[in-house]
Amino acid sequence: MSGALLVTGLAACDTNDDAGDDHTNAGFAYVSGSTLTTVNGASSQGQASDAARLSVRLYPGAFIDGPNGQAFVNNDLFTSIQAPDENRSAEYVINPRAQYSDGKPVTCDDFYLAWFAQHKKEYFDSDNPLLEQVESVTCRHNEKKFRVNFARGYGSRYQNLFPAGSVMPSHIIASHAGVDDLTGALESADYQVVKKVGDLWKKSFLLNEDNLKNIVSTGPYSVKSITDKDPTTHTRSVTLQKNPHWWGDPALIDDIVVYPRSASLSDLAHHKSLRVVDNDQALPSEFRLSQGKGSAEPSEPARSTTESSEAGPSKTSPASETSSSAAPSSSPTPTSSASNAPGESMPSSEANKPATNDNEGFPAFSVPHDGGSSASASRLTVDSEKYGVMTMLSRRIDSLIPADHGVMASKRMRQAVSQCIDRAAVAEASSARSSMKVPAYGLRLTPATSSSFDAVSDVALKHGNHDTAAARKAAKGSTVRLSYDRTNDRYAAMANAIRESCQESGVTVDDVSADHADSTALTDRADFFLQAVDPATYFSTSTFVGGTIDERRQAEEGLWDSMQTIPLSAEPRAVVVHNAVSNLVPSTSNVGVGWNMDRWKKDQN
The CATH class of 393-571 is alpha beta
| Of 104, 4, 11, 58, residue with least CA distance to 602 | 11
Query: Which H or E run contains 508?
Result: strand 508-511
- pLDDT, one tens digit per residue, over 546-568 is 889 999 999 999 999 999 999 99
The CATH class of 24-58+205-288+378-386+579-604 is alpha beta
Report pLDDT for 284: 60
Q: Of 21-35, 320-334, 423-437, where does the model show the most confidence? A: 423-437
Q: Is the pLDDT of residue 339 over 50?
A: no
Could you tell me the pTM of the whole model? 0.85
| Of 582, 572, 604, residue with least CA distance to 278 | 572
Q: Is the pLDDT of residue 322 over 90?
A: no
**For the chain, domain boundaries:** 24-58+205-288+378-386+579-604, 62-162+169-204, 393-571
Please compute the mean of the pLDDT values over residues 141-156 and round it to a whole number.
Answer: 97
Among residues of the chain, what percentage have pLDDT more than 90?
A: 70
Q: Where are the alpha helices (H) located in 204-341, listed in sequence order?
A: 265-270, 285-288
- pLDDT, one tens digit per residue, over 284-297 is 655 643 333 444 44
Categorize the per-residue pLDDT at 313 as very low, low, confident or very high, splitting at 50, 70 and 90: low
Mean pLDDT score of the chain: 83
Is residue 387 within 8 Å of residue 574, measured between CB atoms?
no
Window from 158-162, 223-227, 361-365, 496-500 with minimum mean pLDDT: 361-365
Report pLDDT for 603: 82
For residues 150 and 223, give the distance between their C-alpha atoms in angstroms, rounded to a whole number: 34
Question: How far, in whole angstroms, is CA 505 from its chain's centroid?
Answer: 34
CA-atom Rg of the chain in angstroms: 23
Domain 62-162+169-204 is classified in which CATH homologous superfamily? Dipeptide-binding Protein; Domain 1 (3.90.76.10)
Report pLDDT for 547: 87
The partner residues of 581 in beta bridges, in order of sequence, read 602
- pLDDT, one tens digit per residue, over 343-382 is 333 333 333 332 233 334 445 444 444 445 556 777 777 7
Please compute the mean of the pLDDT values over residues 484-505 and round it to a whole number.
Answer: 97
Residue by residue, DSSP assigns 66-124 as -TTS-EEEETTTEEEEEPP-TTSEEEEEE-TT-B-TTSPBP-HHHHHHHHHHHHTHHHH
With a CB cutoff of 8 Å and minimum separation 6, the contacts of 524 are: none
Residue scoring higher pLDDT (203 or 384): 203
Q: Is the pLDDT of residue 321 over 70?
A: no
Categorize the per-residue pLDDT at 51 as very low, low, confident or very high, splitting at 50, 70 and 90: very high
Window from 88-92, 374-378, 455-459, 510-514 with minimum mean pLDDT: 374-378
For residues 468 and 474, give the distance between their C-alpha atoms in angstroms, rounded to a whole number: 10
Residue 126 DSSP symbol: B
